[in-house]
Structure 1
Amino acid sequence: MRKSPGSTQGSRGAKTQGRIPDAMVAFLATVVLVIGAVGCYDTIANPAAASGNKSQHPSLMHPLPEPFGGAEVVRFVLIGSDTRPHDKGRADTTMVLFIAPRLHRAVLISIPRDLRVPIPGHGVDKINHSYAYGGPELTRRTVEALLGVEIPFYVRCDFDTFVKAVDILGGVDIEVPDVEGRGRGMNYDDNWGNLHIHLKPGWHHLNGYEAMGFVRYRHGDSDLMRTRRQQQFIRAVIE
């Protein structure tokens, strides 16, 4: 069954939904372009356009007379990869963004990284492994099959791009929860992965690196709680 952007029945993962200001649809497209400008030129993909069939899904890289060519609903798979030098990595974060340009509304679905799903050509496995098997295109196809809707676009970002994008925006104000209790906030050190998270509870203005720690932290609770923090971060950026 094809679900509308506002549907709350039968979905998997956490959702955040809200009205988009009149300029927000254009803003979201601009964010995609900013991500490309800081080093992810190949992260905005339109499989139909890449194959030469540009009439089926108009490219976002060209001006359109209406937001997204007047489409009623536009869908993206958003992929945060943990790619490192000499390591293709996995999909550390996977979300689906539904935009209804004419209604100025959007729905964001977060998919748990350890959710076991059928991956085309690779049997049943954790959804984040789809990226290691076949890159962002296979992740897009896997999510498309999981939700049963056509999702023609994906946006891929790695850690460095995320940090640069947040810094370009001037950082973000966000309330850090006391995950570990007793005022310890959020703390984690991974020397091999060059990840060091030390955030005290309360309101803080986070730079790009600190924001990356905020959205990646999952060592004091669970991946589902991390999903909530990721959506908290997105709301903070929009607000």
Structure 2
Amino acid sequence: MLKKLKWITMSILLLCLGIVGYYTYSFAQFAMTISKPKVDVTSNASQEPVVQKQKPPVYELPEWEGTERVNILLLGGDGREVEDAGRSDSMLLVSIEPVTKQVHLFSILRDTYVSIPGHGKNKINAALAFGGPELSMKAVSDLVGLPVHYYYYIDLDSFIKLVDAVGGVDLEVEKDMKYLDPTDKPEYQINLKKGMQHLDGQKALQYVRFRKDAMSDFTRTERQRKFLGAVAEKLQSTSTLITLPSMLKEMAPYIQTNMSPDKMLQLAVSLHKGTGSIQTAQLPPMELLREEKIHGASVLTVNTSQLQKYVTGQLQETATNQEVQKSEQQ
């Protein structure tokens, strides 16, 4: 009986190790596929990624050691051609505290008027067109007062395929959304009906891009945060975890990042038990922004020092609340 019990125990252990090994291998393959080499801004060799039209100014990327807060910029380009990333259609800054599992998701209004190094003043979404993801990182870092360690980039076509790779998302569409542009591709036209529905890649793109309503980009960034929250929730479900290896293989061709595979694995390990509640906010917040016309264009201006204090306050408030909850549980 004892011999049989030992055999069963060993079999279960080997099975668990096999599963862990399979998942680790799948993640490693995914990380190596999406990770792109850093651009050497001091070299004359033409090694820039395809999303970059010209060499960005030098941006010394801050090192992330693995235990301190890490800030990751999510970029969605609105370019219609492979060689042209266009401007960033969406910009979201994910700030993660690996030790406490505290996560903040800041959506940045694309019409925010900022100084873009080497290009003067412009809307912040122009940084992608001027100098690729690295210049976008620099512009966002200067705006919010936080080091931006990494970026993840995806274009419109890849967004559709990426959402399809995860099997779509069930989401409540809060109102009818319709905007038809005869000069654009059929897959980029917007025509959604109000109500709970399953969003595949094309419908999801319509949902996160729609802004033809009274609040324009303000409500659109809310929808983008809502959609990402739904995706995050789905990815943590048991049914999704079972199919995760094959899902990662399907997703890999559509994402580009400068985060190395070892750093991805380090972050994944620190968050392997999930995260706490995700705190979301719009930048600049309504109380700090001003709508202005500059050189005939409608832009949003903000006092940078006040905005940076706001961001710091958001991070500190969550940390304080966590400490209070921890002391109450003890």
- Show the counterpart of 1:199: 192
Deviation at 1:94, TM superposition (A): 0.8
2:85–2:155 contact (8 Å) kept in structure 1: no
Q: Return the alpha-carbon distance in structure 2 between the equivalents of residues 141 and 192 of structure 1.
A: 33
Counterpart of 1:225 (choices 198, 203, 219) is 219
Alpha-carbon shift at residue 234 of structure 1 (Å): 1.0
Mapped pair 1:153 → 2:130: no
CA distance in structure 2 between the aligned counterparts of 1:232 and 1:137, rounded to whole angstroms: 26
Corresponding position of 1:71: 67
Asked if 1:82 is matched to 2:73, the reply is no
Q: Does 1:236 align with 2:230?
A: yes
Which structure has the greater CA radius of gyration? 2
Residues 46/57 of structure 1: CA separation in 2 closer, same or farther (3 Å cut): farther
Cα displacement string for residues 68-108 of structure 1 (whole angstroms, at most 9, x for unaligned residues) = x6322111111100122254410111111101111112101
8 Å Cα contact 1:116/1:125 also seen in 2? yes
3-state DSSP class of the match of 2:180?
A: strand
Shift of 1:191: 3.2
Name 2:114's counterpart in structure 1: 117
Within the candidate set 136, 143, 166, 1:169 is matched to 166
Give 1:207's aligned amino acid: D
Q: How many residues align?
A: 183
Residue 115 of structure 2 aligns with an amino acid whose one-letter code is P
Q: Give unmatched runs, 5+ long, in structure 1.
A: 1-25, 59-68, 179-184
Kindly tell me: are residues 76 and 88 of structure 1, through their superposed partners in 2, closer, same or farther at Cα, counting changes over 3 Å? same
CA contact (8 A) 1:70 1:102 kept: no
Counterpart amino acid of 2:151? Y
What secondary structure does 1:70 align onto?
coil
Q: Which of the two has greater strand per residue?
A: 1
Q: CA deviation at 1:114?
A: 0.4
Q: Are the counterparts in 2 of residues 46 and 154 from structure 1 also a CA contact under 8 Å? A: no
State the Cα distance separating 1:149 from its structure 2 match: 1.6
Query: 1:96-115 maps to which residues of 2 (within 5 A)?
Result: 96-115=93-112
Q: TM-score, normalised by structure 2?
A: 0.51
Cα separation, 2, equivalents of 1:46 and 1:71: 22
Identity %: 40
Equivalent residue number for residue 213 of structure 1: 206
| 1:57 equivalent among 60, 63, 77 | 63
1:45-75 deviations in whole A, cap 9, x for unaligned? Answer: 7669x99xxxx736xxxxxxxxxx6322111
Residue identity matched to 1:96? L
Structure with greater contact order relative to length (CA < 8 Å, sep ≥ 6): 2
- Runs of 4 or more, structure 1, over 4 Å off, are 45-48
Compared CA separation, residues 96 and 46, structure 1 to 2 (3 A): farther
The CA deviation at 1:41 is: 5.3
Distance 2:101 2:38 in 1: 23
The AA in structure 2 aligned to 1:234 is: L
Counterpart contact for 2:77–2:154, Cα < 8 Å: yes
